[in-house]
Every structure is written in structure tokens, then in C-alpha cells.
Structure 1
Amino acid sequence: MLVALMMVLVVVGSIVFHFLSPWWFPPLASNWGYIDDTTVLTFAITGAVFAAVVLFMAYCLYRFRHKEGNKATYEPENRRLEVWLISLTTGGVIAMLAPGLFVWAQFISVPDDAMEVEVIGQQWLWNYRLPGEDGRLGAADNRFVTFDNPLGISPHDPAGQDDLVVIGSDLYLPVDRPIRFALRSVDVLHNFYVPEFRAKMDMIPGSSTYFWATPTKVGTYEILCAELCGVGHSYMRGIVHVVTQEEYDDWLVLQRTFAEF
């Protein structure tokens, strides 16, 4: 009886803590409210399953507790129960996965008018590259990485000479404009994550990944690395400033090109 009561209290306490928890999402500052909706739905489904399983176990402890004269029935198979369990489990998994697939399809479908920003991860700082006057980024390869060329921009590609290079400094982005984040790492696995954007993606050495987002609120936000990348992982932080188009243009003219490095 004591164990059954404790299990009931665990369920009640978990639900109360969930609604009163001080640890919740930071304010949303992008178009990805879908991420919040999908997470809440996952919490609801897994929370309901957790409560149902624990309360069922508590009920069994109470209902089938030891009594003098009671005799257990041996029933190794129960086809009806198996069908119910398989059906409920399958339905729950589909309910959790299906919304995520729809969100993922949007997550990687970049709008045609999106601005390109390349993010380069390196132990333990963030670097960035933006298109120059020609409007496109030049070729890059980790084999070109040197002390004088930390981003590995190809010196043989004319399109890369006017690329704007930001080394270990803050990133500025215009508000209400879709941005395609092209992600690359020059050493180990990293993950580019801005909590308020609700968007993140692994950065894999020797490969390129991407996602897109539209910053919707002017402000200053912290960039985190969400993948353990070495002893300095916790210090791999950066700042992104979401500003008006005029302020962004003013910042842009102050940046140096690859040819000027």
C-alpha cells in the first residue's frame, strides 16, 4: 500500500512540477513556433503514457496485493491484451513522429528570397562568411585552412575574393528576413544553436548542412554550441544581433573581404 501510494504521488508531483516549472522555453524570436507546438505535443503524449503506466502499476499493487487464500492464475498469453498494447503503442509513436516530419519538411525547404549566411564552427569560437558584391559565396574546403585562411576559402575561386569574413566577432542579422544558415566545421563536430530561434543543426567536418529561419524580433541573442566539442565546449558562445535593415547595412560596410585579409 505504501509503495502504491508513493507511485501515485510521483505522478501527481510530476504533473504539478511540469506546470509550475521555472525551466521552460525562452521567448520565441523566429518563425519556428512549430517547434514549440511539436514539443508540447510530445510532452503531452509521453506524460499521459507515463501517468497511465505508473498508475496502472499502483492499481495492480493494490488490487492484487497478498491476501490469505488468494491463488495466482497462470496466463502466459493474452491475445486481446497484446492487440490493445500494440495498437496504443503504434498510435502513440505515430502521433509523436508525424508532426515532426511535417515540421522537418518546412525546416529544410528554404524560401527563394532567403539571404545566405555561412557559419563556420571551430574550437572554440564562431566565424561567419557572407556574400560580397557578387551576391554569392565562393568555394571553400577544409584543405585550404591555414593560419592566414582560417575559414578555408578557396584562393583559386574569384567568387570568394569579395566574400565578407567575420572572425570570432558578433553576427548581425536583419529582422523579418528569411536566412539560410549554411553550416560547416573546420575541426570537430559542433552544433549551431540559438535558443530563441528554435533552430539548430549539427556541423560535420568534411560536410555541409543547413537550415533556415526568419528572425522576428529585434534583440541580442546568445549562440551556443549544442554538441560536446572538447574541453572548451562550454565557452563556445557567441552573440547574434537582430537589427533593422538600416542598422544591418551600416554593419555590413564595416566588414572586411577575404581579399583584404
Structure 2
Amino acid sequence: MALAIALVLIVVATVAFHFASPWWFTPIASNWGLVDDTMLITLVITGAVFVAVNLFIALAIVRFRHRAGHRAAFEPENRRLEGRLTLLTTAGIVAMLAPGLYVYSQMIAPPADAAQVEVLGQQWQWRFRFPGADGRLGRTDVRHVSADNPFGVNPDDPHGRDDVLVANPELHLPLGRPVALLLRSHDVLHNFYVPQFRVKMDLVPGVVSRFWLTPTRAGRFEILCAELCGLAHYNMRGHVIVEDEAAFRAWLAAQPSFAAAR
């Protein structure tokens, strides 16, 4: 009986703490409110299962406790119950997975008018590359990677000579304009994550991964590496500065081009 009471108290305390908790989502600063919706769907489903399972266990403890003169009924199989539980579990899993798969498919398909920014991760720093006046990023190849060419931009590609290079971990983005982020890693797995944007993606060596977003709130937001990438993983941080178009253009104009940096 004490165990049943303890389970009920745990359920009540957990639900109460959820609604009274000071820890919740950070204020969103991008167009990806759908990510919050998918998380809430998962939270509601798993929360309902948590409450139902624990209250059922408490009820079973009370109802089927040992009592003198009562004998347990042995029922090794119940196909009807198993079928219902299988259908219910399947419906719950589909309800959690389907919204996430839909949102992910949208997240990795940037609109045609999205500006491009390349993000380069390396133990333990961030670098960024923007297209120059021609609006196109130059070709890259690992054979060209060196201390003075960390992006591996092909020096013979005319589209790469005006690329804008940002060698510090501060990324500026224009407010209200869609941006596609192309993610590359120099060494190990990294993960580009800005909590207020609600989107994150792994940087995989040898692969260019991508996602897009539209910043919807001006401000300064911290970039985190959300993949354990070595001893100084905790120190792999940067900032995204979301600002109006004029301020962004002024900042971009002050950054060196690939040709000027060589």
C-alpha cells in the first residue's frame, strides 16, 4: 500500500513541477515554431503514458494485493489486450515521429531565394564564409586546405576570389531574410546549435550538411557545439548577431575577401 501511495505522489509532484517549472523553452528567434510544436506533441504523449502507467501500477498494487482467502488467477496470454496495446503503442510512436519527419524535411530544403553561408567547425573554433559580389561561393577541395586557407577554397576558381571570410566565431545575419547554412568539419563530429533558432545539425567530416532558417528577432545569440568533440568541447562557442539589413551589409563589407587575405 505504501508503494501505491508513493507512486501517486510521484505522479502528482511530477505534473505539478512541470507546470510550475522555471525551465522552459528560450524565446524563439526564428521561423521554426514547428519544432516547438513537435516537442510539445512528444511531451504530451510521453507525459500521458507516464501518468497512465504509474497510476495503473498503483491501482494494480492495491487491487491485487495479497489478501487471506483470495487466490491469484493465472492468465499467461491475453490476445485481445496485447492487440490493443500494440495498436495504441503504434499510434503513439507514429504521432511522435510523423511531425518530426515532416519538419526535418522542410528544414533541409531551403527556399530558392535563401542566402548562403558556410559554417566551418574545427577543434575548437568556428569560421564562416559568405559569397562575394557574384553571389556564389567558390569551389573548395581538401587539397587546398592550409593554415592560410582553412576553407580549402580553390584559388583558381574566379567565384571564390571575392568570397568573404570570417575568421572569428561571430556570425552576423540579416533580420527577416532566409539563410541556408552549409556545414563542414575539418576534423571530428561537431554540431551547430543556437537554442533560440530551434534548429541544429551535425558537421560530419567529408560531408556538407545543411539547414535553413529565417531570423525573426534581432539580438545576440550564443552558438554551441552540441556534439562531444574533444577536451575543449565546452569552449567551442560563438555568437550570432541578428541585425537589420543596413547594419549587416556594413559588417559584411568590413570583412576580408579570399583574394585580399592571401
TM-score per shorter chain, which class?
over 0.9
- In structure 2, how many angstroms separate the alpha carbons of the residues matched to 1:60 and 1:141? 64
* Residue 215 (structure 1) shift: 0.1
The percent identity for this pair of structures is 56
Structure 2 runs not aligned, ≥5 long: none
Indicate the residue corresponding to 1:190 in structure 2: 190
Q: Does 1:70 align with 2:70?
A: yes
Could you say what secondary structure the match of 2:191 adopts?
Answer: strand
Structure 1 runs not aligned, ≥5 long: none
Deviation per CA, 1:169-213, whole angstroms, max 9, x where unpaired?
A: 411110000000000001110000111110100000010000000
Q: For 2:207, give the aligned amino acid.
A: S
- In structure 2, how many angstroms separate the alpha carbons of the residues matched to 1:64 and 1:141? 69
Q: Does 1:46 align with 2:46?
A: yes
* Residue 73 (structure 1) shift: 1.2
Q: Normalising to structure 2: TM-score of the pair? A: 0.97
Could you say what secondary structure the match of 2:118 adopts?
Answer: strand
Q: For 1:137, give the aligned amino acid.
A: L
- In structure 2, how many angstroms separate the alpha carbons of the residues matched to 1:230 and 1:145? 22
Contact 2:169 2:237 in 1 (8 A): no
For the aligned residue pairs, the C-alpha RMSD in angstroms reads 0.9
* Residue 137 (structure 1) shift: 0.4
- In structure 1, how many angstroms separate the alpha carbons of the residues matched to 2:168 and 2:142? 18
Deviation per CA, 1:137-165, whole angstroms, max 9, x where unpaired?
A: 01113332211112222223221111100
Indicate the residue corresponding to 1:90 in structure 2: 90
Could you say what secondary structure the match of 1:139 adopts?
Answer: coil
Could you say what secondary structure the match of 2:159 adopts?
Answer: helix
Superposition map of 1:234-249 within 5 A:
234-249=234-249
- In structure 2, how many angstroms separate the alpha carbons of the residues matched to 1:169 and 1:105? 28
Indicate the residue corresponding to 1:159 in structure 2: 159
- In structure 2, how many angstroms separate the alpha carbons of the residues matched to 1:48 and 1:205? 40
* Residue 214 (structure 1) shift: 0.1
Indicate the residue corresponding to 1:173 in structure 2: 173
Q: For 1:224, give the aligned amino acid.
A: L
- In structure 2, how many angstroms separate the alpha carbons of the residues matched to 1:58 and 1:144? 65
- In structure 1, how many angstroms separate the alpha carbons of the residues matched to 2:153 and 2:65? 71
- In structure 2, how many angstroms separate the alpha carbons of the residues matched to 1:45 and 1:143? 50
Contact 1:142 1:186 in 2 (8 A): no
Bigger Cα displacement from structure 2, 66-75 vs 208-217: 66-75
Contact 1:192 1:201 in 2 (8 A): yes
Superposition map of 1:199-214 within 5 A:
199-214=199-214
Bigger Cα displacement from structure 2, 28-37 vs 100-109: 100-109
Q: For 1:146, give the aligned amino acid.
A: S
Q: For 2:244, give the aligned amino acid.
A: T
Indicate the residue corresponding to 1:141 in structure 2: 141
Q: For 1:22, give the aligned amino acid.
A: P
Deviation per CA, 1:28-59, whole angstroms, max 9, x where unpaired?
A: 00000000011011100000001111111111
Contact 1:28 1:198 in 2 (8 A): yes
Contact 1:35 1:103 in 2 (8 A): yes
Bigger Cα displacement from structure 2, 46-55 vs 146-155: 146-155
Contact 2:191 2:227 in 1 (8 A): yes
Indicate the residue corresponding to 1:109 in structure 2: 109
Q: For 1:197, give the aligned amino acid.
A: F
- In structure 2, how many angstroms separate the alpha carbons of the residues matched to 1:143 and 1:63? 72
- In structure 1, how many angstroms separate the alpha carbons of the residues matched to 2:214 and 2:113? 11
- In structure 2, how many angstroms separate the alpha carbons of the residues matched to 1:37 and 1:244? 28
Q: Does 1:218 align with 2:218?
A: yes
- In structure 1, how many angstroms separate the alpha carbons of the residues matched to 2:33 and 2:169? 28
Q: Does 1:229 align with 2:229?
A: yes
Q: Normalising to structure 1: TM-score of the pair? A: 0.98
Superposition map of 1:250-261 within 5 A:
250-261=250-261
